Structure 1
């Protein structure tokens, strides 16, 4: 499947030669692919308040952006327009299955599957993204123009990251099932030829500033420094408004006690990368089965993670939806398999995990397969 998806390349060849280096166009990457959603299904998702959506159009040379949820009246607009629906993998098993075709990239880098629908000549303008993306054509055709330009100056005041001076160097018209991979900050512009839908598999690339701020927040939540500022040898200052050297030195010594190591960073990344997005909510079962019935059912059918759940691990520590937990040695193999495959067969379920699985089930994090 990977060989077909990547045009005959192995995953190792793709990562070595293309990943974050240069674009790749694969004709017929997904044979007979017509998409996961029909037009009405996608537009219906854009009316929901638990799904992120945007609508983009151009009026007299000015780009406009509106955020959902939308009413059905929005689709009556004349002229070219595009609607983009993010996180479709969180609401559709088929969308999630498409996303998982790209598991040759670490799940820690995976963001979501965004789907766009465009009327004839619709698009979002020449722009660049700060993340890797695989663009899979669904129904219809789209003309892609791309370029590896260095000038990424954007139009001031525009609602999107639109390029002020777009200079494409290559152009293709893609058909259903074609795939285009673009590295971060590769300029591109896609315009619909007739109605079309495009599936975008995106991979997160947080900025260093974002990582630093999140890490400092993590340290704040997990920090425990004993003691209190004290100055029993205080002397009368020449000017009471001046901050003394003694105060600075004492506070500097206190702050120097804050330290971290690679394990701290690993724990932070596990929590940070598995944390659900703010708009994601889990739905516990209305009438949960008893723990005994749950154990019997899992013993017959196995266990699966909820479509919104993220399970990652580092060494012997696991992270479920932002929360860490340590597994016993006998549990680790099954949990690593569950993290990778998102489900366990009945034979693969370690009985010592049933208690944890039942808690997850009652929280809406998973259920019998």
Structure 2
């Protein structure tokens, strides 16, 4: 299989894209890959939809009569799908299929913490999920077959929707642009743009790379919940409002500006802790999408196992399912966040952490490691976030 994860620089300029299109306007790229081959057979996608730990949906019917079923799906369900068009959608396929995870490498000109997952859809002719809009950026890669995409105007939370128990379908969809995508073509859609994709062939496959965009409400809720949890553990009974030297008021019914300032300071001091927020967000943004999946090795490795792998020249490879980011701490120190865990790194460990984050899916050869780097490698490998390639 040809490597589908490389975009031809002669046909795609990431800097121009970020300047002119990212979160501004749609863009169609006509097969900009150095070599395109559909990375996932349809029967393997169907097999994933039958597994309990994989999130999947089946949408049957055509315009005006869509029905949705949530997975896992029984194997015999696909044999029953005759006549009416249908679409299978499987979330986070990149966490289960390395060839699909490799697609992400082409889009790493956008920070890793923004990347959500790769959803893969399979549809028969006429299949689709109806006109809708998303609150996030998405690259739609046509893997096999052809799909017609129609785009409309910009939507928001006040845009009218059709009554439907499972699908968020637009009540009014006006077509402003239309494209036909063939294998290897890419359509970028910014947040809030109405769109509708319909398969023109049987065995139509589309890969959707979505990007997370936390809302203000989600950030406030997550940060304050974290602070409240911390207060619950460390709360002091004497950590209360105090006003020594209280002057006598002309009117005891007034809440004075001085009292309000003291109260607001009590409530906001922790909220304004920039270092604490950074650590919380690093952990929050790297939490596994599906935390119940256990990627740890069957046998916990020891330091000697790590040294033996390095001596044998085995490269270190990140688990495609691992979420990994870092925040600099000044100088050469950094905080590495892996699957919701914070790992402070200094010296050689910080250098290795940066190399691993930069490499993405590419193998890294650690070389000679000291105790700090060895400790980091042990934590990553035993967590299942990385492993040595024995081949």
TM-score class, shorter-chain normalisation, is: 0.7 to 0.9
| TM-score normalised by length of structure 1 | 0.88
**Secondary structure of 1:194's aligned partner:** coil
Confirm or deny: 8 A CA contact 1:334 1:349 kept in the other structure: no
Which whole-Å CA distance do the structure 2 matches of 1:359 and 1:169 have between them?
Answer: 51
Aligned to 1:240: none
Which whole-Å CA distance do the structure 2 matches of 1:110 and 1:99 have between them?
Answer: 8
Q: Compare 172-181 and 288-297 and name the one that shifted more.
A: 288-297
The 1:302–1:106 alpha-carbon spacing in structure 2 relative to 1, beyond 3 Å, is same
Q: How many residues matched?
A: 359
Q: Compare 283-292 and 64-73 and name the one that shifted more.
A: 283-292
Which whole-Å CA distance do the structure 2 matches of 1:155 and 1:98 have between them?
Answer: 34
Aligned to 1:157: 164
Aligned to 2:182: 175
Aligned to 2:225: 217
The 1:335–1:149 alpha-carbon spacing in structure 2 relative to 1, beyond 3 Å, is closer
Q: Does 1:362 align with 2:372?
A: no
* Deviation, structure 1 residue 66: 1.0
Q: Does 1:130 align with 2:135?
A: yes
Aligned to 2:244: none
**Secondary structure of 1:356's aligned partner:** helix
Confirm or deny: 8 A CA contact 2:348 2:373 kept in the other structure: no
1:284-338 alpha-carbon deviations (Å, 9 max, x no partner): 2223454313211134213222222112111022211111121113321221111
* Deviation, structure 1 residue 89: 0.8
The 1:60–1:191 alpha-carbon spacing in structure 2 relative to 1, beyond 3 Å, is closer
Confirm or deny: 8 A CA contact 1:5 1:26 kept in the other structure: no
Confirm or deny: 8 A CA contact 1:140 1:194 kept in the other structure: yes
Confirm or deny: 8 A CA contact 1:2 1:11 kept in the other structure: no
The 1:201–1:216 alpha-carbon spacing in structure 2 relative to 1, beyond 3 Å, is same
1:46-86 alpha-carbon deviations (Å, 9 max, x no partner): 00111111111236833211110101122122210101001
Aligned to 1:205: 213
Which whole-Å CA distance do the structure 1 matches of 2:44 and 2:167 have between them?
Answer: 25
After TM superposition, where is structure 1 displaced by more than 6 Å over at least 4 residues in a row? 248-253
Residue in structure 2 matching 1:226, options 236, 239, 242:
236
1:93-126 alpha-carbon deviations (Å, 9 max, x no partner): 1111111211000001000000000011000001
Confirm or deny: 8 A CA contact 1:334 1:348 kept in the other structure: no
Confirm or deny: 8 A CA contact 2:5 2:105 kept in the other structure: no
**Secondary structure of 2:279's aligned partner:** helix
Coordinate RMSD, CA, aligned: 2.9
Which whole-Å CA distance do the structure 1 matches of 2:223 and 2:383 have between them?
Answer: 27
Confirm or deny: 8 A CA contact 2:7 2:106 kept in the other structure: no
The 1:348–1:276 alpha-carbon spacing in structure 2 relative to 1, beyond 3 Å, is farther
Which whole-Å CA distance do the structure 1 matches of 2:368 and 2:150 have between them?
Answer: 48
Q: Does 1:106 align with 2:116?
A: no
The 1:285–1:11 alpha-carbon spacing in structure 2 relative to 1, beyond 3 Å, is same
Residue in structure 2 matching 1:48, options 25, 48, 51:
51
Q: Compare 296-305 and 202-211 and name the one that shifted more.
A: 296-305
Which structure 1 residue ranges, 5 or more long, are not aligned?
Answer: 232-244
1:177-212 alpha-carbon deviations (Å, 9 max, x no partner): 001000001111110111200000110112211121
| TM-score normalised by length of structure 2 | 0.83
Q: Compare 355-364 and 311-320 and name the one that shifted more.
A: 355-364
Which whole-Å CA distance do the structure 1 matches of 2:309 and 2:134 have between them?
Answer: 45
1:184-203 alignment, distance < 5 Å: 184-195=191-202, 196-203=204-211
